[in-house]
Amino acid sequence: MNRRWQLAHGRHLDLGEKAVVMGILNVTPNSFSDGGLFDAPDRALEQALRMVAEGAAIIDVGGESTRPGAAPVTADEEQQRVLPIIEMLAKRGGVLISIDTYRAETARLALAAGAHIVNDVWGLQREPEIAEVAARAGAGVVIMHTGRDREKLADVIADQRLFLEKSLEIARRAGIGDNHIVLDPGFGFNKETAGENLELMARFGELHALGFPLLAGTSRKRFIGTVTGREAAERAAGTAATSVILRLKGADLFRVHDVAINVDALAMTDAMLAHDPIRQEP
Rounded Cα gap, residues 110 and 79, in angstroms: 8
pLDDT, average across residues 3-24: 98
Residue among 103, 152, 221, 222 flagged as catalytic: 221
pLDDT of the residue at 38: 59
Kindly report the average pLDDT of the chain as a whole number. Answer: 93
Judged against a pLDDT cut of 50, whether residue 264 lies above it is answered with yes
Name the DSSP class of 114: T
For the entire predicted model, the pTM comes to 0.93
The helix/strand/coil state of 276 is coil
Exposure pattern of 116-148 as b/e (b: 16+ CB <10 Å)? bbbbbbbbbbbbbebbbbbbebbbbbbbbbbbe
pLDDT digits (tens, 9 = 90+) for 103-147: 999 999 999 999 999 999 999 999 999 999 999 999 999 999 999
Marked catalytic residue, from 81, 108, 249, 255: 255
Percent of the chain with pLDDT over 70: 94
Provide the 8-state DSSP code for 81.
H
**Rounded Cα distance, 187 and 214, in Å:** 12
Q: Is 221 noted as a catalytic residue in this protein?
A: yes
Q: Each residue of 32-89: pLDDT tens digit?
A: 454 446 567 888 899 999 999 999 999 999 999 876 666 788 999 999 999 999 999 9
Distance separating alpha carbons of residues 152 and 176, to the nearest angstrom: 26
Domains within the chain, CATH numbers bracketed: 3-275 (3.20.20.20)
Within its chain, how far is the Cα of 79 from the centroid? Answer: 19
